[in-house]
Structure 1
């Protein structure tokens, strides 16, 4: 059973207020990922748990504020609430590398460059996640 919209609304807003597009259906995921066929895209798999609150959402906001180069597209799905969209993103676009939220995925011209699964965030800080995503992005882009 999905989480209540009353619970997830403020958790989603933490990302949408800094520019992330909230995807709620598989069709929305597919349409957004067609847009991601050109440029740099950051996907956050949001969730209602400690890692999301402590690491993923704060890190996502800092990445957006400080990223160089800037992301062309910011997308988010919510694990445990928008189940169809989450499944489509995880299975359809991350080659099932990511199994659950919270998680990050970075795409360049539609190709997956980097994926940070939930277990990478355990016992880590938001600052660590920002550094990890930023350094991996810089390395991948050369």
Structure 2
């Protein structure tokens, strides 16, 4: 069952106020990727858990401030926008579901993935550094 929207709104805003586009339905996910088949897209599967608050969201924000970054950044919210999250996970192929998690797609293919267990135990700066290395390689 989804959390009260009043509770998750600030968690959504932490990403959307920095320019990350939120996709809330399966059709929004499909439309976005149909309209943007080329280039690089950072995909953040947001979550209410502590590692999303302490590392994932702030790490993404820091990474996107760097000189090298993807063409676009989008987010879906696991446990809230279930259809959108399922559609994104389908795009990730055989990668097991994980939230929070972060995927980097290039020309429609997943080229880098950070699952929850690689977010836990890292601070925002460490995660931003890891993402920055992926951006340098693929963007």
Q: Structure 1 length normalisation: TM-score?
A: 0.91
Pair 1:78-2:83 in alignment: no
Partners of 2:70 and 2:135 within 8 A in 1: no
Is the deviation greater in 96-105 or in 71-80?
96-105
What is the DSSP-based 3-state SS (H/G/I as helix, E as strand, rest coil) of the residue aligned with 1:10?
helix
Distance 1:121 1:83 in 2: 21
Provide the residue aligned with 1:37 in structure 2. 37
Distance 2:96 2:60 in 1: 17
Provide the residue aligned with 2:64 in structure 1. 64
1:120 to 83, 99, 118: 118
What's the CA shift for 1:96? 3.8
What is the DSSP-based 3-state SS (H/G/I as helix, E as strand, rest coil) of the residue aligned with 1:120?
helix
What's the CA shift for 1:63? 1.2
Distance 1:82 1:97 in 2: 19
What is the DSSP-based 3-state SS (H/G/I as helix, E as strand, rest coil) of the residue aligned with 1:65?
coil
1:105 to 103, 106, 119: 103
Distance 1:20 1:140 in 2: 19
What is the DSSP-based 3-state SS (H/G/I as helix, E as strand, rest coil) of the residue aligned with 2:12?
helix
Q: Structure 2 unaligned segments of length 5 or more: list them.
A: none
Partners of 1:98 and 1:115 within 8 A in 2: no
Distance 1:123 1:76 in 2: 22
- How many residues align? The count is 139
Provide the residue aligned with 2:92 in structure 1. 94
CA RMSD of aligned residues (A): 1.4
